[in-house]
Structure 1
Amino acid sequence: MSDALLELSGVHTHIGAYHILHGVDLVVPRGQVTLLLGRNGAGKTTTLRTIMGLWHASQGSIRLGGEDITRLDTPRIAQRSIAYVPENMGIFADLTVKENLLLAARSAANAAQMDGERLQWIFGLFPAVQKFWNQAAGKLSGGQKQMVAVARAIVEPRDLLIVDEPSKGLAPAIVNNMIAAFEQLKRGGVTILLVEQNIRFAQRLGDGVAVMDNGRVVHAGPMAQLAQDEALQRSLLGLSL
């Protein structure tokens, strides 16, 4: 197994008076796609937000590439070659698609300075990004916005990509496009952590899987093992894949 790029050990998170995460242990191996599954309210999104410092762990540790990032604020975490696409996508509706990507291209002061070769690669992954390049992002469909959100996250090379429910509400054709994009990113050496409810999406992409329930990881192992064990699926997820 690859070494761990990201590791959570005994992570607890409180939001106000609410104790959401209860000692999360999670290992994300370098160069792999790890799926975070679980019922609604299990703590998946809170785990991602805690990794990114949007909510701070009240106990435990988070290590990225061996560095303890538990107490860092979000901008400093984002500087460590990590990109996050939240469930709501975080698109700036009044800005054009080009301007949305430019915001994330830290090495470019204007669009002309953006990496042209990388942009062409992104256009190949997500043709809609090129098609609507100069249009306001808020006018795009949900699937097109999701493509823009992922494109923005990878407009510069990243070691780790964290995405919350990338296929939510997308048409099957766009889901297939998204799967192909993540497969290509993985082949390029990007480590990916996904929260996902689309089981076909999870099965096709996942190398490893962690299942959460009540703020804890209750199962971790190969995705293929979970996909083949119907009894385990029903026990952990309350359904059959």
Structure 2
Amino acid sequence: MSGDLLVLEGVHTHIGAYHILHGVDLRVPKGQLTMLLGRNGAGKTTTLRTIMGLWQASAGRVTFAGEDITRWPTPRIAQRGVAYVPENMGIFADLTVRENMLLAARGARHATQIDEARLQWIFTLFPAVEKFWNHPAGKLSGGQKQMLAVSRAIVEPRELLVIDEPSKGLAPAIINNMIEAFAQLKESGVTILLVEQNFNFAKRLGDTVAVMDNGTIVHAGSMQELADDEQLQHSLLGLAL
């Protein structure tokens, strides 16, 4: 697969009186996993929310599959094939795992109408979703909630997954499970844009990487190149590995 599925060109975003994004240029190649890295407060979450139309860009352009989606409302962006998993996961704690999944499967009115083959594939990625199918989502562990959040995002076919810090607060064993799941999703042809603070997580998964600082992209290239250059890591991210 070649070409860029998602492109941001000179994107500025204001939130109230605050100017958060200062001309963001970002390319997400089709069929690859792109990591968006940066220190806390660099503008990563604002970038994702701007892509999804949750916050409107005040200047610049966001293009998805060749279409200008800069002014599109969030539901239209989702219907076009973009799924978003926010940092807080956005699950409904009082509903069961099954009910959470059903809400995300817009073409189904009953759980039996969810695509069975796709559901079984999700169960292989995240066995906990099947194990706790009839349990309240609020009773799940942090890792299990994260698995449910990603499962909801992929219960219907998507072209692009936009995910904010999936490994935050998770145990190493759960992180390894998440890495394997994202690798399988990428192999299935899904394009992924992923914000991450865990650099070891990022370098194991990423094909390309963009690094943000003060509301702009300060570095873009291959993930392998950044993983191999400790001096560059330290200058961009303040890491000492």
2:164 equivalent to 1:164: yes
1:64-112 CA distance string (max 9 Å, x none): 0000000011111110111000000001001100110111111111111
Amino acid of the structure 1 residue aligned with 2:46: T
SS at structure 1 position matched to 2:129: helix
Correspondence for 1:7:
7
1:176 corresponds to:
176
For 1:107 and 1:82, the matched residues in 2 are separated by: 16
Task: Tell me which amino acid in the other structure corresponds to 2:77.
Answer: I
Counterpart amino acid of residue 56 in structure 1: Q
CA displacement at 1:230 relative to structure 2: 1.3
- Using the alignment, how far apart are the partners of 1:24 and 1:178 within structure 2? 28
Q: What corresponds to 1:127 in structure 2? A: 127
Moved over 2 A (4+): none
Q: State the shift of 1:194 in Å.
A: 0.3
Paired position in structure 2 for 1:232: 232
AA of the residue aligned to 1:72: W
Deviations 1:32-58 (A, max 9, x none): 000000000000000000000000000
Equivalent residue, structure 1, for 2:31: 31
Structure 2 distance, partners of 1:151, 1:207, is 22
What does residue range 55-66 of structure 1 map to in structure 2 within 5 Å?
A: 55-66=55-66
Distance 1:114 1:96 in 2: 15
- Distance in 1, matches of 2:228 and 2:140, equals 38
Q: Percent identity?
A: 77
Residue 118 of structure 2 is matched in structure 1 by 118
Q: How does 1:183-222 map to 2 (within 5 A)?
A: 183-222=183-222
Q: Unmatched 5+ residue regions in structure 1? A: none
For residues 2 and 114 of structure 1, what CA distance do their matches in structure 2 show?
31
TM-score (norm 2): 0.99
Instruction: Tell me, in whole angstroms, the C-alpha distance in 1 between the residues paired with 2:106 and 2:240.
Output: 44
SS, match of residue 71 in structure 1? coil
Q: TM-score, normalised by structure 1?
A: 0.99
Structure 1 equivalent of residue 104 of structure 2: 104
Q: In angstroms, what is the RMSD of aligned CA positions?
A: 0.8
Structure 2 unaligned residues grouped into runs of 5+: none
Distance in 2 (alpha carbons) for counterparts of 1:111 and 1:238? 47
The one-letter amino acid of 2:29's match is: P
In structure 1, what is the Cα distance between the partners aligned to 2:135 and 2:56? 36
